[in-house]
Structure 1
Amino acid sequence: MKGGGGYFYGLKMRQLSLFFIVFVCASIVVWNWEKTPRLTTLLPPHDQSLHIFPDELKREREHVTEVKQDFKEDKPVVNNILPPSLSTNSASLNTRQDESPTTHENHHESNNIIEKSISEGDDDSKPFKPQLIASVTSHTTESAVTEEHIDTPMTNVEKQACNLGKGKWIPADNRPLYSGFGCKQWLSGMWACRLTQRTDFGYEKLKWQPKDCKIDDFTGPEFLKRMQDKTLAFVGDSLGRQQFQSLMCMVTGGEEMPDVEDVGTEYGLIKAEGSTRPDGWAYRFPTTNTTILYYWSASLCDIQPVDPTNHATDYAMHLDRPPAFLQHFLHKINVLVLNTGHHWNRGKLNANKWIMYVNGKPNTNRKIADIGGAKNFTIYSVVRWVNSELPKYPGLKAFMRSISPRHFFNGEWNTGGTCDSTTPGTLEVVQDESSDPVAAGAVKGTEVKLLDITGLSLVREEGHISRYSMRAAPGTQDCLHWCLPGVPDTWNEILFAQI
């Protein structure tokens, strides 16, 4: 028994010695870990997954580069912006402000019209599908980035820009942002689908959610706070007017606000003799001195009578000059949103007696005379002019809004084309590039930002006014304009995030 006790005593001592050695080693490791806390930065925080930042997209379409080089050398822009596979021959639906599609004749182009390939239909009446869209480098904003601190040794990484045009539509109980039965102070009845015989309103309950960033929820008070003592101007066609009316409804919540001032006279927006309406509207919210205005300029170029003394005169369409309104009032604007696209067809030019001018004289360049070339030339011209003016007005933010898509299926507006679906498309946009390469190419390399709404609107075919247009003839549908409240509200939410 004594010998056995010695054996167990020796074994116990060895175990204690081993434990003491392990304890000392562990203490040394812990002490060194505390003395070098930077080692912990090699791991992501416990509540955050590891973020991998992709390299910035450097792809640029060769034709866009060539167009921009032409501008740099002050040469006419005549290059096709879209590849031949997307160049189609069709007439676009042209509506001036409140006009119905039925008020225009059908004009088809026999030439290769580039501009028709972006949401303006084609002769084969095929629906425009997102997978057919050309790719160019997308333009994003840093203002809406969710700034998440990532404690990593990569000190050269600041933050990733947010692509607001990439994401998906999700159901939301807090939509719409105003009642479709209200907002009669600002909203045209022809666009208030709740006042028509339409019975499905699921399109009102979807919210756009960008993929890699979070944007603030829109509220009227917060918008007015951000825009205190400032003026926001929409300049463009009837889709620009829809965005203007949408914003007025969003800011007011669709409620009557008799204290809002009509300040159109300050901007020359008065109804001319013989006209049914002025060329635009301007309203001021006195509590914050915020002005929101809209000016109708379907082509975004300056249009002047060739002979002011002759009421039957033609009109010079100066493709290389911005609208006179912008030349006169840009100094009073703090946020500018431009758009154009759906009035560019030969029939509309002929009906308005518009004659293309470049450098102050009738255009003789055949490539610019092509409707697509003229439109692209004008977009690049107005963006370049605005960009040149920005240094004079440091507080000015300028946006070129990408084109709003049409959704005519099985025909055109006057040949039985329809958009009477009650369900949206895929509800998701996965591409990084803008779906409007012309607008994206025009702003690239400038301080003018892209308000990219084309892709997210392409998947919302059910949101158009469709057969419920108040002015449309039987069998005619409006697949260009949108029901309000509806898709244009999201355009303003994205604008709100970028201001």
Structure 2
Amino acid sequence: MKGGSVYRARGKHFTFTILAVICMTIFLWSYEKKPIATTIFSSQDQFILPTSDVLQVGYHNSEEAIKPEGQLFKESTNLPEETDDKTDPSENNVESLDETEGKRENYMTDGENADMQDRSQEHPSVVNTEPDQPVAEESSETIEDDTNIVSSEKKVCDYAKGRWVVDNRRPLYSGFKCKQWLSEMWACRLMQRPDFGYEAYRWQPKDCDMPEFERSAFLERMQDKTIAFVGDSLGRQQFQSLMCMATGGEESDIQDVGLEYGLTAPSGAARPDGWAFRFSETNTTILYYWSSCLCDLVPLNPEDPQSQVAMHLDRPASFLKRFLHQFDVLILNTGHHWNRGKVNANRWVMYIDGKPNQDRRLAMIGNAKNFTIHSITRWVDSQLPSHPRLKAFFRTISPRHFFNGEWNTGGSCENTTPMARGSEVNQNESSDQVIAGAVRGTRVSLLDITALSQLRDEGHISRYSIKASSGIQDCLHWCLPGIPDAWNEILAAQI
């Protein structure tokens, strides 16, 4: 009898062991597949980034000690918010457009955000390469003979990694002559700036040669195509740069086709929402649409000019939805309008799923920006199969270089020596991890210009801005000709 009891006990123990193994196997299989994790959390949970720690990637000015790469620290939460923006952005209001923008909020709460973009984007050794970025790939071939097989694979060009070099063929156009397309406030030669050394450099990728930009060849390649820039005033600078590059700054047979895209000046506005021009000879259209957040902005009361505006974080700008099918190349950018001052001044109210946002985490500006960038990228990616000829790019953030203060507290960028903080970019990851992360795994390409632009603090408008008489320097926008020309050279190469 005792023997039988022992066998029964062992049998029960064996059965229990088998059941435990089966349960553990199912659990591990489920954990690996993550079917629960991807369905429990809503879409807005998936893009909330940590807010407690910030990756130290630079220093505030040239005299601060460089912290070790990868060091984590917490930024003070007692810094003041910017609230200078009292009116909607306009052509003639530099600081209302973007002077208070530039607050990188990738990993920060509102308080942590207030001073971090300067520090995360100004160190010349912060170098920039996105491993997954789409670039001009060249085919590989296999050569076979009687004795062996030799694999010959050509290198892929990483345009984000390289150095600035002197080139006496620069600039690509004259700031004096390109008055038809270039805003006077960005034409530094018209603003009495006396030094122009910043014009004499071109970007040289590290392991390959970037095709030389030649305007007639570019327009022929873009024949019957439409190139659309959608974003903030840094996107407008890139648009104006390309117009000057494509015309050489000379008068050309070009039509204003803004009405075809609804780009007209609203009643009482200082400027239209954008511009569109068509080159008659090649039927190439280049346009710009102003959309600082890339999201859908809808007045809650269209009849009231002071109405609050629904800021739909999960919806693309209506302009994109309406005209995407007409574009062949799309370049998106955002980042500098994501601060509390801008949101409040523009009376924006965050909306999700058509309703006012109730998620306190998403109410933090940095998280809202990150969520919107991912949301818009996913939407564009979802549209690409239906628009096979469209090539979409998301341009990384353009760095700002205010030293010893902000735009309204005496901040300046008076360096005039090119490459004073270095000339080379060697890093293997983008300096803008939010946008790089958003496009990774999608068909949207990365136009990675942050690190190469970080090295060029002497290229800003500086004290020669239209606000110079009031002591305000523009260390956000760039002189043209200048740094945005290199962005367009890289764009043309990636197209």
Tell me the SS of whatever aligns to 1:141. coil
- Report what 1:219 is aligned to: 214
- Find the residue that maps to 2:379 and give its secondary structure: helix
Aligned counterparts of 2:430 and 2:104: Cα–Cα separation in 1: 26
Residue 412 (structure 2) pairs with residue 418 (structure 1): yes
Equivalent position to 2:257, from 257, 260, 263: 263
Deviation at 1:69, TM superposition (A): 6.1
Secondary structure in 2 matching 1:337 = strand
Task: Return the offset for 1:123.
Answer: 6.9
CA contact 1:111–1:370 (8 Å) conserved in 2: no
Distance of 2:269 and 2:137 partners within structure 1: 42
| Structure 2 CA distance for partners of 1:365 and 1:132, relative to 1, 3 Å | farther
Which residue does 1:437 correspond to in 2? 433
Residue of structure 1 aligned with 2:327, choices 328, 333, 348: 333
Match of 1:200 in 2: 195
Query: Counterpart in 2 of 1:322?
Result: 316
- Structure with a larger share of its residues in strand: 2
**Letter paired with 2:176:** F
Corresponding residue number in structure 2 for 1:25: none
Letter in 2 for 1:141: P
Q: Tell me the residue number matched to 1:288.
A: 282
Structure 1 CA distance for aligned equivalents of residues 97 and 264 of structure 2: 26
Asked whether 1:489 is paired with 2:493, we answer no
Q: Deviations over 1:36-57 (max 9, x none)?
A: xxxxxxxxxxxxxxxxxxxxxx
2-structure distance, mates of 1:174, 1:96: 36
Tell me whether 470-479 or 273-282 shows the greater mean CA deviation. Answer: 470-479
Structure-2 change in CA distance of 1:215 and 1:151 (3 Å)? farther
Out of 355, 358, 367, the position equivalent to 1:364 is 358
**How far apart are the structure 1 equivalents of 2:100 and 2:178?**
36
For each residue in 1:188-208, what CA deviation from the matched residue of structure 2 results, as whole angstroms up to 9, or x when unmatched? 000000112211111000010
**What amino acid is the match of 1:169?**
W
What code does the residue aligned with 1:261 have? Q
Give the distance between the partners of 1:357 and 1:458, measured in 2 at CA. 34
**What are the residue-to-residue correspondences of 1:53-452 with 2, within 5 Å?**
74-80=43-49, 83-86=53-56, 88=75, 96=89, 98-103=91-96, 114=107, 122=115, 128-130=121-123, 137-143=130-136, 158-257=153-252, 259-423=253-417, 424=419, 425-452=421-448
Partner SS state of residue 470, structure 2: coil
1:476 Cα deviation (Å)? 1.5
Q: 1:150 to 1:456 in 2, by over 3 A?
A: farther
3-state SS in 2 of match to 1:165: coil
**3-state SS in 1 of match to 2:361:** helix
Deviation at 1:274? 1.2
CA shift in 2, pair 1:209/1:495, >3 Å: same
**CA-CA distance at 1:383 after TM superposition:** 0.4
Alpha-carbon shift at residue 127 of structure 1 (Å): 7.6
Residue pair 1:121, 1:128 contacting (<8 A) in 2 also:
no
Letter paired with 1:182: K
Q: CA RMSD in A?
A: 3.3
SS of residue paired to 2:43:
coil
Distance verdict in 2 for CA 1:105–1:269, change over 3 Å = closer
Q: Which amino acid aligns with 1:167?
A: G
Inter-partner Cα distance in structure 1 for 2:257 and 2:48: 42
Which amino acid letter does the alignment assign opposite residue 302 of structure 1?
D
Q: Distance in 2 between matches of 1:422 and 1:180?
A: 18
Mean CA deviation greater in 333-342 or 470-479: 470-479
Q: CA deviation at 1:432?
A: 1.6
Q: Which moved more, 1:86-95 or 1:192-201?
A: 86-95
Change (3 A) 1:133 1:316: farther
**Counterpart residue type for residue 370 of structure 1:** M
Provide closer, same or farther for how the CA distance between residues 79 and 176 of structure 1 changes in structure 2, counting only shifts above 3 A: same
Please give the per-residue CA displacement for 1:214-259, whole angstroms capped at 9, x wherever unaligned: 11100111111111111000000000000000000000000012x2
> What's the offset of the Cα at 1:128?
3.6
Which runs of 5 or more residues in structure 1 are unaligned? 1-64
- Residues 291 and 103 (structure 1 numbering): CA distance in 2 closer, same or farther, change over 3 Å? closer
Displacement of 1:277: 1.1
1:462 maps to which of 450, 458, 461: 458
1:373-413 superposed Cα distances (whole Å, 9 cap, x missing partner): 00000000000000000000000000000000000011111
- AA of the residue aligned to 1:139: D
Out of 305-314 and 347-356, give the one that drifted further. Answer: 305-314
SS of equivalent residue, structure 1 residue 185: coil
Structure 1 Cα separation of the partners of residues 443 and 193 of structure 2: 42
Counterpart of 1:476 in structure 2 is 472
Which residue type is aligned with residue 355 of structure 2? K
Q: Distance in 1 between matches of 2:132 and 2:197?
A: 31
Q: Which amino acid aligns with 1:84?
A: V
Instruction: Quote the Cα distance in structure 2 between the aligned partners of 1:190 and 1:383.
Output: 32
Same amino acid, percent of matched pairs: 54
Whole-angstrom CA distance in 2 between matches of 1:206 and 1:71: 52
Letter aligned with residue 165 of structure 1:
A
Which residue identity does 1:433 align to in structure 2?
A: E
Post-superposition offset of 1:111: 13
CA shift, 1:357, in A, is 0.3
CA deviation map 1:272-316 (0-9, x unaligned) = 111111100000001111000000000110000112233332100
Change (3 A) 1:72 1:329: farther
Structure 2: unaligned runs, 5 residues or longer: 1-33, 57-73
Q: Distance in 1 between matches of 2:437 and 2:222?
A: 29
Q: 1:323 and 1:447 mapped to 2: Cα distance?
A: 19
Give how far 1:150 is off: 9.3
